[in-house]
Chains A and B, each alone.
Chain A
Amino acid sequence: MAQLDSRIPSGPLADKWRRHKTEMRLVNPANKRKYEVIVVGAGLAGASASASLAEMGYKVSNFVFHDSPRRAHSIAAQGGINAAKNYQNDGDSVYRLFYDTIKGGDYRSREANVHRLAEVSANIIDQCVAQGVPFAREYGGLLANRSFGGAQVSRTFYARGQTGQQLLLGAYSALSRAAGAGQVQLHTQSEMLDLVVVDGQAKGIVARNLVTGAISRHSADAVVLATGGYGNVFNLSTYARGSNATAIWRAYKRGACFANPCFTQIHPTCIPVTGDYQSKLTLMSESLRNDGRIWVPKRSEDRGLPAGSIAEDARDYYLERMYPAFGNLCPRDVASRAAKRVCDEGRGVGESGLGVYLDFSEAIGRLGEAGVRERYGNLFDIYREITDENAYKTPMRIFPAVHYTMGGLWVDYNLMSNVPGLFVLGEANFSDHGANRLGASALMQGLADGYFVIPYTISDYLAGQKPGSRPRVDAPEFARAAEFVAGRTDRLLAVNGAAPVSHFHKRLGAILWTHCGMARTRAGLEQALREIPALREEYWTPGKGVKVPGSAATLNQSLEQAGRVADFLELGELLCRDALAREESCGGHFREEHQYPDGECRRDDANFAHVAAWEYQGDDRAPLRNTEPLNYEFVKMSVRNYK
């Protein structure tokens, strides 16, 4: 059984991080260059960590599957980044950001981690501005803010609808500077395919060069995974097509615990699906909910009519009706479930009936079309490109889609997994968002982890490692991992089955969306737990399973995707297992058996105020469910109420 020591420092909440920083060990400057750190991923967390560790003097190698670190999917985040600056003098504070995040996460995250996140949030903005991130400004030249995603203060910093892009370009520029100075070795188009554990500690990786197919071994004193979330397990999501779980999944199979895999976020405002050829779903930033009003017809027989011909009193502005205090700005999980409910009642709009209106006519009346264009023009353009509809004239149609995963590899307060030497940052870990993430908090967490946490905590670990003690790449552990990787690649090519990778990915996605999506039931999850292993077996059955053309010795996109989907077919099962074991509803995890009469989540704090950390036991044995109790010392767990 894995040892899960969260290593949360003792003492008052607000002093924990400050004190911990002074108590952690340091590495002598002359010794730093003797340590090599591998960072996998170059999104906000990976790029900021790589640059910061290199500036400190460590030798850093960065691995990305993209052709440039600048393309990591953090780039697509639209809305903004939270920070407790209180520039708007509206009563914000570190404590309030902490409290909102804890409550938003439905009391399933760690108090100490979340408080640290809120503490360093202000430093992030300073750092980004110093790098030249062109945040929106007021006429006086100071930084502008907006309110975002369920917050009652304006603490969100933004750069038009492209905040993620600008923050990533900032981190990428710092990484580029370090690479140009020879402090970081960049390995682009290199996919990590295994973690190498030597004497119980993470000491390297095996990677495949996606252009040449060459498999290489890399040794290090510590390994940092910042490889993002696993939402593509659902096939259709707002993730980039290449986003995958392979790095964290291989780490799981080497002993790292996977925490709360069923905590997935379904974002309420995405463009609905149009056909089975669809490869991705596009998010419409939830900033639109600041001015758009969400509704469906009151009567299901009206749902085929043009929106404009449905009279005001025949419309159901259901969020405003159900949650008068927060209205259209209620948190994502709440808004998504409400949309599902009205569509299940047969009142959904659009061809498929899986859509609700997001209507700007009131805002256009108030601000004029130009005013709306100034705030949201680029989003209206995106909507038009995709749907061929003009949202200034007819309301947008939106529907929830998989957007983020709060679950991930288990880490302690130092962001180290239960495998010593393996650190996990950003969306790839589980630690800060509980069962639901608030808007504009993902960018904050990625950069907090990379700029302001890992530089301290990794030094504490490295100080305990003898300089120059990392193993050579001809050690037997490396040879075994490389052999495993090559063998698995050959096996995928040898299946020579009856359907392309996409066929299996779609089927897996459909099972998960139906049974482990916005609403989950025991019967549905049990069914999924029968269907997924069967699908996985079919996938690997020669002549019947997946068909991967080409060879392993060249650029082969089918082979890359086949390996990732093979991992999703295993991870999908763990998602359902976790959802089944968690007999409560909380945040994005909604079990129909556990709800209040009004349809809200019914948490079970007596039995489930804990992190579930799954431990791999072998392909033929069920994984072990370890738990880490969540001890709330400072905040009282209460029923989330947005009414």
Chain B
Amino acid sequence: MNETSPKFRSVTLRVWRQPGPGAAGRFVEYKAANLNRDMSFLEMLDVVNDGLAMKGEEPIAFAHDCREGICGTCSLVIDGKPHGPHRGVASCQTYMRSFEDGAVITVEPYRVRAFPVVKDLITDRSAFDRIQQAGGFITARTGSAPEANAVPVAKDDAELAMDAAQCIGCGACAAACKNASAMLFVAAKVSHLGLLPQGQAERDRRVLAMVETMDGLGFGGCTNQYECSAACPKLISHDFIARLNRDYLGASIRSSFRQEPQKSEE
């Protein structure tokens, strides 16, 4: 980071404003002055919004919550990059010191067919929830769990599962992909659960159901450009996509040969 840059700076924002789903949107310019270099990008938007509110204009709607990079709510495309210029951080962890004094900054919502714009910079990412509901779980009824240390898990497997499990569900992977593919998201979920012994019973069913749901929701296919992992705030590796493909292929083959259990007569 630039140690010599001045403490305060002024920038011009070009912000996508869209009143509602399906409405026409456009870029609107705003000036933001006297910004402390240690201010976060979202705090800068707070200041701009307070100014707009006092002028009686509608503030810029943007999604945010924890502001520490873990909840996955924030979802800005800053100068064409989901979550802005730095690798491995979410929009809320982007600071004004990353921008030159006088910079013109373009701020847009995700552009993904399966994530329609709700308002301004907010998109509807419930498609991810629907993928999860299709199979992103290990069925373990409350109260039915065996003693936790009954099943050892090799440390390397646990670590790899944790690498995948870090996904914050922000959707930047789909936003960064020219095909708007959700493969990295699904790969992370499938790998996390599939790497653990607890996840084996539902492994085939899970990958088939999640991929089918993903495809049905209008996400595109993966063409291995890896923009997804470059944009991922948790730097989840695209290697998991290979694992997903392997799991999917195996499950498809097994399911085509599997004999359905006979249904007993009621």
Contacts and interface: CB of A to CB of B under 8 A. Distances in A.
Interface of A: 48, 51-52, 55, 66-71, 73, 75-76, 85, 87, 123, 125-132, 134-143, 159-160, 162, 165-166, 169, 172-174, 176-177, 179-180, 186, 188, 211, 240-242, 274-275, 277-280, 282-283, 381-382, 385-388, 451-452, 455, 499-500, 502-503, 547-550, 554-555, 557-558
B137 A177 contact: yes
Contacts of A85: 148
29 contacts: A67-B73, A71-B73, A73-B66, A75-B71, A76-B66, A76-B68, A128-B148, A130-B148, A131-B138, A132-B192, A134-B161, A137-B152, A137-B153, A137-B158, A141-B152, A165-B168, A166-B165, A173-B132, A186-B129, A241-B66, A277-B39, A277-B43, A279-B67, A385-B89, A385-B95, A500-B49, A549-B56, A549-B59, A557-B61
A381 B134 CA distance: 35
Interface stretch (B116-124, B218-226, B255-263): B116-124
B126 A550 contact: no
B193 A137 contact: no
Contacts of B161: 132, 134
Contacts of B3: 388
A76 B198 contact: no
Residue among A123, A128, A130 having the largest count of chain B Cβ atoms under 10 Å: A130
What 5 pairs between A and B have smallest CB-CB spacing? Answer: A141-B152, A180-B133, A130-B145, A173-B137, A130-B140
Contacts of B69: 382
Contacts of B57: 549
Contact of B118 (A135, A169, A211, A274): A211
A180 B129 CA distance: 10
B114 to A, nearest CB: 14
B126 A240 contact: no
A498 to B, nearest CB: 8
A280 to B, nearest CB: 5
Contact of A240 (B66, B89, B119, B146): B66
A240 B72 CA distance: 12
A159 B162 CA distance: 8
B66 to A, nearest CB: 4
B52 interface: yes
B153 A241 contact: no
A48 B142 CA distance: 9
B53 interface: yes
A542 to B, nearest CB: 15
Nearest to A85: B148
A548 B54 CA distance: 9
B93 interface: yes
A387 B40 CA distance: 11
Given A68-B169, A242-B65, A502-B50, A76 B142 contact: no
A67 B138 contact: no
Interface in B194-216: 196, 198-199
Interface string B132-158: 111011111111111111011111001
